[in-house]
Amino acid sequence: MSPAPPGRGAHVRAPPGRVGRLVLGLLLAALLAALAFAPFLFPGTRAMATASRIAIFVVLAASYDVLLGYAGIVSFAHTMFFGIGAYGVAIALARFTPGWGALVLGAAAGIGLSMLLAALIALLSLRVRAIFFSMLSLAVASVALTLASQLRDLTGGEDGLTFSVPAALSPGFRLLAHPVLGVRLDGRLLTYYLIFLVALGLFLFLLRVVNAPFGRVLQAIRENEFRAEALGYRVVLYRSLASAIAAGVAASAGVLMALLLRYNGPATTMSFAIMVDLLLMVVIGGMGTLYGAALGAALMVLAQYYLESLLQALAEAAAGLPLLAALFDPDRWLLWLGLIFVLIVYFFPAGLAGSLRLRAGEE
């Protein structure tokens, strides 16, 4: 009943920061350019693997943001769908003749199963209360992880499945005999661009979804479920659809992951460690913007790949100073990663993208 507290009102009323938006736009443009030209800008297997992972995790984090940031539901089963997509491809390519037919079949099966399962979890739990969705998703994800490690005949158990991809995507394939701009046009390159283009398409699709009338309804439900229902929106239906869309995209990201690694196992795509990473990506980047999820994913993957080497360099530079050298020991990279996260969450409570959008207006 009481009017909005003035402090909060003033904060929200601040005009969106132009500088912040510009910085955000530049960061995103840089990310897109870096990914689009990664094979030419950053040659080398490790750089390519990093770029592929970033593209995949941008999609995975963005699809998770549709749930967390737009629909306001906390799911612990998102990596399960990532895993189901990857297993779909892995099983199809390992069991049948590796070719485009098997790939498409496996991908379709994985994506279809994910969407069905997501809708089912949503329909069963959201009729009661949103918190049960979290609990049920956790339970289902645990079961799926156990099944993935136990059903050895189907999934390869803990060892996972190694498989061959269609010839054009295998490392030995040569499109042209001669390198172009110093880069060999081989199967690795084709795989990278397949991943990049599919990821880009999926990200644009998600942007479309959240900016469509459907996405607005999701935001309304997140803000005030009760009123959204009173306006005539079937809350359970909207949340179930959001959940199915997010699961389908996560499974598609899983398909890309399987293609990248030519291997899939429980620890690669289904583990709860990835689930935690995913939560961090979305929270650090900023919930409810999609762009934030993209930045968060890029930052997180880069840190996982390069923080250790950065510390190595720092430790060598500080070799003479006993305390610093010990602090920068490469083995402590996880400690530094944790510290960076704490600082980001402290200084950017709305996440990177969220804070950049508001910033300049407040100061």
Partner 1 sequence: MTPAPPALESEGLGIRFGGQVAVDDVSCAFHPGTLTAIVGPNGAGKTTYFNLLSGQLRASAGEVRLDGVTITRLPPSRRSRLGLGRAFQLTNLFPTLTVLENVRLAVQARAGIGLDVFSRAARLRALIERAHAVLAQVRLQTRAAVPAVALSHGDQRKLDIAILLALEPSVFLFDEPTAGMSVDEAPVVLDLIEQIKAARRATILLVEHKMDVVRRLADRVIVLHQGRLVADGAPEDVVASALVQEAYLGRQAGRG
Binding site for partner 1 (CB under 8 A): 1-4, 8-10, 12-13, 208-209, 211-217, 219-220, 223-224, 226-235, 238, 241, 245
Q: CA–CA distance from 170 to each of 3, 166, 264 (Å)? A: 63, 7, 16
CB of 195 to partner 1, least distance (A): 24
Identify which of 33, 31, 37, 29 has the alpha carbon closest to the alpha carbon of residue 193: 37
The helix or strand, by DSSP H or E, that contains position 44, with its residue range, turns out to be none
The residue (of 95 and 216) whose beta carbon lies closer to partner 1 is 216
CB of 233 to partner 1, least distance (A): 6
DSSP 96: S
The residue (of 95 and 227) whose beta carbon lies closer to partner 1 is 227
The residue (of 210 and 280) whose beta carbon lies closer to partner 1 is 210
CB of 191 to partner 1, least distance (A): 30
The helix or strand, by DSSP H or E, that contains position 161, with its residue range, turns out to be strand 161-162
CB of 238 to partner 1, least distance (A): 7
Say if CB 87 and CB 110 are below 8 A apart: yes
Identify which of 111, 105, 112, 132 has the alpha carbon closest to the alpha carbon of residue 121: 132
Both structure tokens of 323? 């305390």
174: β partners:
186
Instruction: Provide φ and ψ at 120, rounded to 5°.
Output: -65, -50
The residue (of 2 and 45) whose beta carbon lies closer to partner 1 is 2
Please, which residues have CB within 8 angstroms of residue 31's CB and are 6 or more apart in sequence?
54, 58, 294, 295, 298
CB of 358 to partner 1, least distance (A): 12
The residue (of 174 and 216) whose beta carbon lies closer to partner 1 is 216
CB of 226 to partner 1, least distance (A): 7
The residue (of 146 and 224) whose beta carbon lies closer to partner 1 is 224
